[in-house]
Chains A and B, each alone.
Chain A
């Protein structure tokens, strides 16, 4: 419809020949403020349609913001976990055979040496039973109540260093170790299988037939395969091996300050074995920063793509509605042209209309996106991480998207001719 008329006006323009501006009255210029008023009146007068269009942009923008917000918060939660548990843990492995004065299972004094290092919070030796133990509540029971269980011999400070949390009873201390007491701590999973309540030494479990009284129950950090379902006995057991468990070479578990892990990983072997530091292997966590970036760049790329798609769908909605509205308002546009509105004024009014819709949609979408992010984070128990720049950029993005989407319809509107008003039936 537009096309045939456009060609006609083009030819009319050509026929109009050279500009006679000098002698003609100045072209009336509809002021920007008036265009804004006219745009607002049109949007308000057509509230229902305006609202529908706005919803399109709002949904797109809310989706975009929510994906960004949720990704950021999820990444934040992920890196929080790395920060708290992994990024501050250094493990030093002892050799499996005695070499150059370094023994596989050193005596308890070693922990003292690393504790003196700057940046170490706590440290303790741990050694894992090599044999699969039979853990039972009964002294001579043939039944293994903890078939998946492991036994660890650990210094008192090793458990907090591994981020275990006491839930019942008490930790054993260096006294228990020095007195070679047969006491044990068990993890909550093991406790429920053994139906042990951890109350003041009144529960006894048997490891390969040797009795240990349970001092307390702890909770292993999520995902820790060594501690989950384990029985922990004092470190002396690794040296004496009263139950014949065949303990593996020891590990020094060090909990460091945030950011000190690399440094401690380099220093600890020297502190522990000044003569042969290379016989010890220090495991340090990956740099938390690079880890976080890795997580974010992967998920971000995906979600940003999704966000762009949803915003694009919203923009298409605006563009389509604006175009339909131009078709519907042909007589209004022709009339305005007849009454003196320039092409630019007509295009301007329609651009402003889509821009306002985009802006309003942007504001609503931003609020919605923040709400969705907040509710999701609340449900997932994450800290809300939402860049404040995003929340201020949201309405602006809406405005820009609205303007861009309204550009083609606005140009189509500007092509409508004033002579249109004389067409019968319009």
Chain B
């Protein structure tokens, strides 16, 4: 996989194995900082899905979010992904405070800096693979002439250069999730957020998708993976454990 844009920290050696033990001196500046984040779903009865969450996410690192079902992992991911607004707390994305942004501004920031991979793939069935992968570019307003080449490059980078113009419904689950990964990176976001990306895949396909995600880390992107699977968590540089809406 190639990323001509590289990154500000492209020259720095990032050894995933060194991970959290890499020492504060080597740690890149966080791309996401959260402090005192709480999320309460208004009831009745109100659900305190997140309580006082403080964490940061750094480029070139794979972070895993683990925890029992209903503990608040998806809620945390939706706040991280600017898909939902926290009830309380501060959330800085690339140093910008997002908590006071209007919905439009939040949408804009999300579209340009974040990429998403979902457990259920969320590929649009009536679009071809290239059209699906190009969706972020469409909604970002990237000029049409640049879209297809970029989408093709992204699909090639996930090993699906031969599946450009077919509908995703003709693909296997593993292939579909790779299309979704291509879509998550086509606009070169700083952070890729994944909700159980391997939840619907067998072991071989899970490994392949995780390889792709670790490849992104090597390009200095921040990757956040919500997961149930110990093998996935084992690959992470940093593991956040969520229990009852609290992160440890």
Contact = CB atoms under 8 A, between A and B. Distances in A.
A52 B212 CA distance: 42
B83 A18 contact: no
B140 A28 contact: yes
B219 to A, nearest CB: 21
A24 B87 contact: no
A179 interface: no
Tell me which of B84, B96, B107, B195 has the highest count of chain A C-beta atoms within 10 A of its own C-beta.
Answer: B107
Interface string B101-128: 1111111111110001011101011110
A46 interface: yes
A25 B112 contact: yes
B108 A26 contact: yes
B214 interface: no
B108 A27 contact: yes
A338 B110 contact: yes
B100 interface: yes
Given A15-B87, A338-B110, A331 B126 contact: no
Tell me which of A42, A45, A46, A417 has the highest count of chain B C-beta atoms within 10 A of its own C-beta.
Answer: A45
A379 interface: no
Nearest to B126: A45
Interface stretch (A4-12, A196-204, A362-370): A4-12
Interface residues of A, number: 50
B112 A28 contact: yes
Contacts of A419: 78, 83-84
A28 B139 contact: yes
A360 to B, nearest CB: 17
Contacts of A11: 42
Contacts of B108: 24-28, 340
Interface string A19-43: 1110111111111001000100110
A101 B195 CA distance: 112
A21 B83 contact: no
Nearest to B111: A340
A40 to B, nearest CB: 11
Interface residues of B, number: 42
Contacts of A342: 104, 107
A424 B77 CA distance: 13
Contacts of A376: none
Interface in A265-313: none
B166 interface: no
Given A340-B136, A422-B78, A422-B83, A46 B126 contact: yes
Interface string A315-352: 00000000000000001101111111111010000000
B42 to A, nearest CB: 6
B92 to A, nearest CB: 13
Tell me which of B77, B100, B138, B139 has the highest count of chain A C-beta atoms within 10 A of its own C-beta.
Answer: B139
A20 B83 contact: no
Nearest to B104: A27
A147 to B, nearest CB: 78
A109 interface: no
Nearest to B226: A422
Contacts of A12: 84-85, 103
21 contacts: A12-B85, A16-B102, A18-B100, A21-B104, A24-B96, A24-B101, A27-B105, A29-B141, A30-B141, A34-B144, A45-B125, A45-B127, A338-B116, A339-B135, A341-B139, A417-B83, A418-B83, A419-B84, A421-B83, A422-B74, A422-B81
List the 5 closest A-B pairs by CB distance, nearest first: A45-B126, A340-B111, A24-B105, A340-B139, A27-B104
Interface of B: 41-42, 74, 77-78, 81, 83-85, 87, 96, 100-112, 116, 118-120, 122, 124-127, 131, 135-136, 138-141, 144, 195
Given A340-B139, A417-B84, 19 more contacts: A15-B85, A16-B102, A25-B105, A28-B107, A28-B139, A41-B126, A45-B125, A45-B127, A331-B120, A339-B111, A339-B136, A339-B140, A340-B140, A419-B84, A421-B83, A421-B122, A422-B83, A424-B119, A426-B120
Interface of A: 7-8, 11-13, 15-21, 23-31, 34, 38, 41-42, 44-46, 331-332, 334-343, 345, 417-419, 421-426
